Amino acid sequence: MAIISSALAAQEATQENTAAESGAEHAGAAGSLAHGGAHEGGAFPPFDTSNFAPQLVWLVLVFGVLYVLMSRLALPRVAAILVTRENTISANLDAARDLQVKAQAADAENNATLRAKKDEAQAIGREGQQRIAAEVGALRTSAEKKFSEELAAAEARIAAEKAEALTHVESLAKEAAASIIAKLTGAQVDAKTLAAAHRNI
């Protein structure tokens, strides 16, 4: 009985030691879990005050690099583009003003040329009218003079022919009267007797 009791006591002691060891392992695991959970449940790393100094250093470095890049590369190119654009716009405006001035001068010159050509055309027209009127007047005067000469010649010719016809008429009348008297009376009357009788009538 004593042997059994001592064996049982030894077995119970062994079980207690094993339970104690497993309890210690569980306790260590629980502690590590508790520590990790506490770390994971802490503040966000960028907001952690212990990380402010490195973050400020990197912020200054990045900002400095960006500033150097912008001031040395990007901004000069942008400024050059803006200057070129402004110069181009100014040059285009100046060219447009010059073209406008030239266009106004050309318009004024064109108007002056048109006025001069119009005056010249009117002068040519008046000169032509005067020349034509003079030529027509000269032709009319010449025609009237020629017509007057021809009319005078025709009147003179008509008068001569009339006088000649009257001379023939008188002699014919004398001859006709002599023949009539001869037929009526049977006597022959000469021209001198008829002329004397005609004068007495």
- Tell me, yes or no, whether 1 lies in a domain: no
| Domain coverage including residue 170 | 53-200
Q: How far apart are CA 178 and CA 170, in angstroms?
A: 12
Structure tokens at 169: 């008429």
- Residues 32-81 pLDDT 10s: 444 444 444 456 777 777 788 888 999 999 999 999 999 898 899 999 99
Distance CA 104, CA 109 (A): 8
- Given the structure tokens 């003003």, which residue do they identify? 97
How would you class 121 by CB atoms within 10 Å of its CB: exposed for 0-12, middle for 13-18, buried for 19 or more? Answer: exposed
pLDDT on residue 9: 53
Q: Please report the pLDDT score of residue 50 as a whole number.
A: 79
Give 45's DSSP letter: G
Phi, psi (deg, nearest 5) at residue 48: -75, 130
104 lies in some domain: yes
Residue 14 lies in a domain: no
Q: Is residue 39 part of a domain?
A: no
Residue spans of the chain under pLDDT 50: 1-8, 24-41
> Which sign, positive or negative, has the C-alpha torsion 181, 187, 191, 192?
negative
Q: Does the residue 6 lie in any domain? A: no
Q: Is residue 5 included in any domain, yes or no?
A: no
Q: In total, how many domains does the chain have?
A: 1
The answer to whether the CB of 178 falls within 8 A of the CB of 191 is yes
**CB neighbour list of residue 154: distance below 8 Å, 6 or more residues apart:** none
* 195 lies in some domain: yes
Sign of CA dihedral 117, 123, 126, 132: negative
In a domain, 22, yes or no: no
